[in-house]
Structure 1
Amino acid sequence: MGGRGFLLIATAVLVAGCGGGGGAAEPKQSQAGSPAKVTLELWHLSTTEPMKTIMAERAKEFEAKHPNVTIKATVLENEAYKSKITTLTQSGKAPDVFATWGGGVLKQQIEAGLVKDLSADVAPILGGFTKASLAAYQFDGKTYGLPTDIGMVGFWYNKKLFAKAGIQQPPATWAELLDDVRKLKAAGTTPIALAGKEKWPGHYYWAYLAMRIGGVPALQQAATDKNFTTPDFVAAGQQLKALADLQPFQKGFLGAGYSTPDGQSASVSNGKAAMELMGQWAPAVQKSSGKGLGDDLGFFPFPAVDGGKGAVTDAFGGGGGLAVGADAPPEALEFVKFFDEQANHSRAVEKGGVLPVLQGEESAVKDANLKVVAESLAKATGFQLYLDQAYPPAVGAEVNDSVAQLIAGTKTPQQVAEAVTEVAKSE
């Protein structure tokens, strides 16, 4: 999430106000003249509040408006979702409506003929979305999914623990971050929480360092050249190793989950670690998995790297979206269009479940930290989707695996670069 992600990466209510029909085929009629019974398979990632409740409420509302429809929801956390959706799509099937991060994974599903082209049906409402939120779901001028969330990864930190360690303001450079890690350790505080078991949170560090050192074009060029052994990627690994060598993570981090009661999010939420590198959903998951920090929670963008070609205003992240399976009944598109009501999406934004994907929706952001994220996104000079979603699935998986080994000390920066390159060239 992408990791995500998710995540996690919240599957939410959707987009600009178009409500009902608008292009979908009429439902089949039974012999008695009423619509035939339909069961919609809905797969999503909303395992934590507030989106867990919001998603369930929207499903019930849709069923109330469409008595012939029963929604069967499969709700999975990030890694389980990635695994199960991959297995399902490899078998040549896709759920009727399913969460997607877009990018290379969605592109492979499209090429396999598993995803419905929504272009004609959603054309009237596309102008209501922000440009950045749509990009991951569009290929060759066609739209294959609609965004429900957009955001960026950054550091969420405990202001009180920073102050206790004598840190007056968040670090602006990577060198300052490493220095702050030393200060936090000296003050008896665990600097960073990490869900080592789940791997995807670790890839954020390597990806962001590669962005800050090489710039967003370096990551895009690597996708084309299938070469991750350039000096910028190796340097990213070296800088991550410099962090790992400081032993900044909580005890037992290699076996820790993300949203579990003793995982990464809860460690920060319960004041046991000073920060985590995570997406815009972090405050909601922290409240769900632990006590929550309230006003003590702060956010700062990933620091700049001295001498790097990337700008601190370049953002790394993504969001959540919904796609429709190629063989889904017409009601699946109706379900997505039901979510296309701006009032629904803005309500989810107000509750802190998602960030704006619609034009002019910024005022619905109530949380002070999420406002900072939204403002950072608005000023972003470049944007890079999560690497485990931007690249083909096998490449993304290798990034996650190799970076996890680097953090654990069992792979060198050069070996990470070579392993990812080898898988990329075999795709």
Structure 2
Amino acid sequence: MTAHLSRRSLLSLAGVSAGAFLLGACGDDSSTSDGGQTIDWWHIQNTEPMLPVWAAMAKEYETAHDTVKIAIQPLENEAFKAKLTTATQAGSPPDLFQSWGGGVLKQQVDAGLVKDITADVQPWIGKLLPAAVQPFTIDGRIYGVPFDVGMVGFWYNRDLFARAGVTAPPATWAELLSTVGRIKAAGIVPIALAGKDKWPGHYYWAYLAMRIGGLDALRRAADEKSFDTPDFIAAGQRLKELVDLQPFQKGFLGAEYSSPDGQAATMGNGGAAMELMGQWAPTVQNSSSTSKKGVGDKLGYFVFPAVDGGKGSVSEAFGGGNGFAVGRNAPASTVDLLRTLLDVANQRRAAATGAVLPTVREAADAITDRNNQVVAASLASATGFQLYLDQAYPPAVGQQVNDSVAELIAGTKTPEQIVKDITTVAKSQ
């Protein structure tokens, strides 16, 4: 993600200014002249449906705590990452900010930029799914709390599959390639891809590496700082098989995920048969589409297929969750605000939008969307889980994964070359 991973995320659409839902005063000083506190909160849910939900929850908290003001900055995903980098380099992170955990959070922990909130969250952290909390746990200490958890899979347009004579989702990589061929022969764009953003492309390579080498291959790569192995090369070769079919929409190398003519809009407007994306995909497709309704009940979901002869299992999931970390200088009320956002009632409110798969166990009954229920069931039955590579690994390694996979998809680097490039960066860390 970007990752999105940069991000991953509810990756959201651009178009809403950072100040659109500003609540309370802004500024670096977390204290106000009347002795109150101002919480500076940055998040990336900068469009419907979660933008007004977060705003309402913040306003309710302010009403219940008259000495607290909450200054919200909703930011588009890439803009958020750029702004946060600037803030953290200056040693001034916001009080509460979007996080996907993993290697990026560890770097922030090592730099002393975030609070250890282990003791603060003990009374209620047990209500959350352990797998969701894992990416926010560094060396046994908790530095963030997830409000959303999910996995990446293929979202597909049932009508376009039917028009191409495809009666069932592919279960193997070979079947996926065959499906792409049939869809293309029917005059339909098989796959939408945001080539410019890079992180969506890394999903393919990461999943192929998981299916071919299993989760152990990714863990060994992290431990040994080496991706120059047969399994990772094979993942690139399989991805090249797909790229060689020219399955993506016209202009995909310059396409963004959330722009009006980007990946999500292409799917939402019925311009492609499928996309590989996280649990937020239906919501962003809807918001990005001309109708603001997407393709409705035509949308289906299937897990990333198996690779013949691979050591991985289709029950192993790749994904992550959205959460919040607490900046080192955050006022005392920040963790209490976080607790409020994660209470059962508010998690149900978030889940009811269809944009969030809740991390609080008791809120799972609020998942009403059929496809989200499928994602939640797939995740619940997963036998293993891998965080987005551009979040799981140190930031420089994650960025190189995104860059290298983008070069492979663009045809400027070979599978053998990209694993060497990623390994070089990994060994330099």
TM range (shorter): over 0.9
Please list every run of 5 or more consecutive structure 1 residues that lacks an aligned counterpart in the other structure: 11-26
The 5 Å alignment of 1:185-334 reads 185-290=184-289, 291=291, 292-334=294-336
Q: Is the 8 A contact 1:9 1:319 kept in 2?
A: no
Q: Amino acid of the residue matched to residue 344 of structure 2?
A: Q
Aligned to 1:183: 182
Q: Amino acid of the residue matched to residue 191 of structure 1?
A: P
Q: Would you say 1:101 and 2:100 are equivalent positions?
A: yes
The 5 Å alignment of 1:27-426 reads 36-290=35-289, 291=291, 292-426=294-428
Structure 1 stretch 149-158 or stretch 338-347: which is displaced more?
Answer: 338-347
Cα-to-partner distance string for 1:324-375 (whole Å, 9 max, x where unaligned): 1111111222221221321011111122121121123322110000000000
Shift of residue 392, structure 1, vs aligned partner = 0.5
Cα-to-partner distance string for 1:216-270 (whole Å, 9 max, x where unaligned): 1111110110000000000001111111111000000111111111110010111
- 1:369–1:36 Cα change, 3 Å: same
Shift of residue 411, structure 1, vs aligned partner = 0.7
Aligned to 1:22: none
Q: Is the 8 A contact 1:8 1:281 kept in 2?
A: yes
Cα-to-partner distance string for 1:384-424 (whole Å, 9 max, x where unaligned): 00000000000000000110111000111111101100000
CA distance in 2, matches of 1:193, 1:48: 21
CA distance in 2, matches of 1:304, 1:28: 54
CA distance in 2, matches of 1:362, 1:37: 36
CA distance in 1, matches of 2:150, 2:313: 18
CA distance in 1, matches of 2:257, 2:130: 30
Shift of residue 29, structure 1, vs aligned partner = 10
Cα-to-partner distance string for 1:187-243 (whole Å, 9 max, x where unaligned): 000000001111110000000000000001111110110000000000001111111
Q: Is the 8 A contact 1:399 1:420 kept in 2?
A: yes
Shift of residue 153, structure 1, vs aligned partner = 0.2
Q: Is the 8 A contact 2:100 2:323 kept in 1?
A: yes
* Secondary structure class of the residue paired with 2:204: helix
Q: Amino acid of the residue matched to residue 370 of structure 1?
A: N
Cα-to-partner distance string for 1:258-314 (whole Å, 9 max, x where unaligned): 111111001011111000000000011011000311110000000000000000010
Question: Normalising by the residue count of structure 1, what TM-score does the alignment of the two structures yield?
Answer: 0.93
Please list every run of 5 or more consecutive structure 2 residues that lacks an aligned counterpart in the other structure: 14-29
Q: Number of residue pairs matched?
A: 407
CA distance in 2, matches of 1:191, 1:199: 19
Q: Is the 8 A contact 1:133 1:319 kept in 2?
A: yes
CA distance in 2, matches of 1:57, 1:8: 20
Structure 1 stretch 330-339 or stretch 164-173: which is displaced more?
Answer: 330-339
Q: Amino acid of the residue matched to residue 5 of structure 1?
A: R
- 1:417–1:29 Cα change, 3 Å: closer
Q: Is the 8 A contact 1:229 1:414 kept in 2?
A: yes
- 1:141–1:206 Cα change, 3 Å: same
Q: Is the 8 A contact 1:7 1:77 kept in 2?
A: no
Structure 1 stretch 254-263 or stretch 365-374: which is displaced more?
Answer: 254-263
Q: Which runs of 4+ in 1 moved over 4 A?
A: 27-30
CA distance in 2, matches of 1:416, 1:105: 22
* Secondary structure class of the residue paired with 1:104: helix
CA distance in 2, matches of 1:263, 1:340: 32
CA distance in 1, matches of 2:281, 2:108: 28
Q: Is the 8 A contact 1:209 1:236 kept in 2?
A: yes
Q: Amino acid of the residue matched to residue 426 of structure 2?
A: A
| Identity percentage of aligned residues | 61
CA distance in 1, matches of 2:247, 2:298: 21
Q: Is the 8 A contact 1:49 1:353 kept in 2?
A: no
CA distance in 2, matches of 1:178, 1:121: 50
Q: Is the 8 A contact 2:350 2:358 kept in 1?
A: no
CA distance in 2, matches of 1:29, 1:166: 64
CA distance in 2, matches of 1:178, 1:82: 34
Q: Amino acid of the residue matched to residue 281 of structure 1?
A: W
CA distance in 1, matches of 2:144, 2:369: 27
CA distance in 1, matches of 2:118, 2:316: 29
Aligned to 1:20: none
- 1:320–1:29 Cα change, 3 Å: closer
Q: Is the 8 A contact 1:42 1:74 kept in 2?
A: yes
* Secondary structure class of the residue paired with 1:376: helix
The RMSD of aligned alpha carbons is 1.6
Aligned to 2:19: none
Question: Normalising by the residue count of structure 2, what TM-score does the alignment of the two structures yield?
Answer: 0.92
CA distance in 1, matches of 2:31, 2:263: 48
Q: Would you say 1:5 and 2:4 are equivalent positions?
A: no
Shift of residue 28, structure 1, vs aligned partner = 8.1
* Secondary structure class of the residue paired with 1:73: strand
